[in-house]
């Protein structure tokens, strides 16, 4: 099954690259004009023509795509620094530009993923207990989780920045609010975690609420099944029934949600990195979009597409490990 999924992913990546390439070329503005800014007026037309020729922009869009695709598919180009082309901005290999941005994004997404599922599972268990013992408290918690899930990340980010920038916040919490380090620098894990904690909390908020609501809904459905009634009738405590049976049966759908959460968090990091000035892949995508840096954009799109496919494959593998019925 996994081999079949991998083979099916190949044409999907090709389609993603084709559509992305077409959309990028549909953006208004010329990369050379955007790169030079007002300085283009001082350059002779012949120099501008040579620049476009150097970047391959004098070719038709179809030929540009085929040249990019052939470079990507060459067997010896994957290990080469020029496999993805060179950045229009500084002429550096795209592979090098992207690699130096990966650690910041992976750290941010890793912290956000950990927070999403640890806090989400904890709140989900609390919601289950409240649903059984205190309906009013359960209704309040569910309403708060729904409100958190409905709140856009950028709105929460601006509220957090406004609060932490005020003179009254230092008495309650003292967190760095902007920046991390220059791209390519190698800070310690503790330093990165400190600067990325607030962005990670904001990034994980909606996913955390979704996990908690999902676990609550799954558990309530499980608690109404006959095996739970039988276990309680045999004298098992409610705590043991929930921890030993109900939560285990909720684990498989939650693993599927985890597989979908990784690409969702990476996609959400584009906005969060831009707001909090984190030098990761998301911010690089925004910079490359405004700068019409097509080679870097294509490299990022292919990387994101690969991550989505690998995340889904990982979820399938974990499902097979957790649920023996899928192995038959």
- Domain extents for the chain? 2-99, 102-279
- As a whole number, mean pLDDT of residues 152-170 equals 79
Element (H, E) at 219: helix 189-223
pLDDT at 208: 93
- As a whole number, mean pLDDT of residues 266-283 equals 88
pLDDT at 323: 63
Unique residue bearing structure tokens 């690998």: 310
As beta bridge partners, residue 86 has: 93
Q: What is the pTM of this model?
A: 0.79
pLDDT at 38: 58
pLDDT tens-digit map of 110-145: 899 999 989 998 998 888 888 888 889 989 999 999
pLDDT at 189: 63
Rounded-to-integer distance, Cα 31 and Cα 88, Å: 8
Rounded-to-integer distance, Cα 116 and Cα 112, Å: 6
pLDDT at 142: 92
Sign of the dihedral through C-alpha 45, 50, 53, 57:
negative
pLDDT at 78: 40
Query: Which of these ranges, 78-82, 209-213, 240-244, 275-279, has the smallest mean pLDDT?
Result: 78-82
Residues in the chain: 328
Q: Which residues contact 48 (CB under 8 A, 6 or more apart)?
A: 32, 40
Unique residue bearing structure tokens 């592979």: 95
pLDDT at 80: 46
Q: What's the topology of domain 102-279?
A: MetI-like fold (1.10.3720)
- As a whole number, mean pLDDT of residues 83-111 equals 83
Contact between 250 and 288 (Cβ < 8 Å): no
pLDDT at 149: 92
- pLDDT tier at 148 (50, 70, 90 boundaries)? very high
Query: Which of these ranges, 102-116, 171-185, 270-284, has the smallest mean pLDDT?
Result: 171-185
Q: Helical H runs in 234-280?
A: 238-241, 247-275
Tokens of 31: 């990369």
Of 101, 99, 81, nearest in space to 91 by CA: 81
Of 213, 221, 198, 301, nearest in space to 257 by CA: 213
User: Residue 321, exposed/middle/buried by CB under 10 A (0-12, 13-18, 19+)?
Assistant: exposed
Quick count: other Cβ atoms within 10 Å of Cβ 288? 25
Of 57, 12, 19, nearest in space to 309 by CA: 12
With a pLDDT cut of 90, the percent of the chain lying above it is 12
Q: Which residues contact 201 (CB under 8 A, 6 or more apart)?
A: 112, 115, 160
**Side-chain-facing half-sphere of 145: CA atoms under 13 Å:** 26
């Amino acid at each position: 099954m996994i081999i079949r999924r991998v083979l099916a992913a190949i044409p999907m990546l090709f389609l993603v690259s084709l559509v992305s390439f077409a959309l990028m070329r549909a953006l208004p503005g010329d990369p050379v004009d955007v790169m030079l800014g007002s300085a283009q007026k001082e350059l002779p037309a012949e120099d501008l023509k040579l620049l476009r020729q150097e970047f391959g922009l004098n070719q038709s869009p179809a030929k540009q795509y085929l040249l990019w695709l052939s470079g990507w598919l060459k067997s010896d180009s994957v290990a080469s620094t020029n496999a993805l082309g060179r950045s229009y901005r500084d002429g550096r290999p795209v592979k090098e530009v992207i690699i130096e941005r990966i650690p910041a994004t992976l750290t941010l997404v890793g912290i956000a993923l950990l927070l999403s599922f640890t806090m989400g599972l904890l709140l989900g268990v609390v919601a289950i207990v409240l649903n059984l013992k205190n309906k009013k408290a359960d209704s309040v918690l569910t309403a708060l989780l729904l409100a958190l899930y409905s709140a856009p990340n950028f709105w929460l980010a601006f509220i957090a920045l406004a609060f932490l920038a005020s003179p009254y916040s230092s008495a309650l919490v003292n967190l760095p609010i902007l920046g991390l380090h220059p791209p390519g620098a190698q800070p310690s894990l503790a330093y990165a975690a400190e600067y990325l904690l607030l962005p990670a909390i904001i990034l994980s908020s909606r996913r955390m609420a979704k996990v908690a609501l999902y676990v609550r809904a799954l558990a309530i459905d499980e608690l109404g099944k006959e095996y739970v009634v039988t276990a309680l009738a045999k004298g098992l405590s409610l705590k043991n029934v929930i921890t030993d049976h109900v939560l285990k049966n909720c684990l498989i759908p939650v693993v599927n949600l985890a597989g979908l959460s990784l690409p969702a968090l990476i996609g959400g990091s584009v906005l969060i990195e831009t707001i909090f000035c984190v030098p990761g892949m998301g911010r690089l995508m925004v910079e490359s979009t405004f700068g019409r840096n097509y080679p870097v954009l294509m490299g990022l799109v292919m990387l994101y597409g690969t991550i989505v496919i690998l995340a889904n494959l990982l979820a399938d593998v974990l499902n097979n490990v957790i649920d023996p019925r899928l192995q038959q």
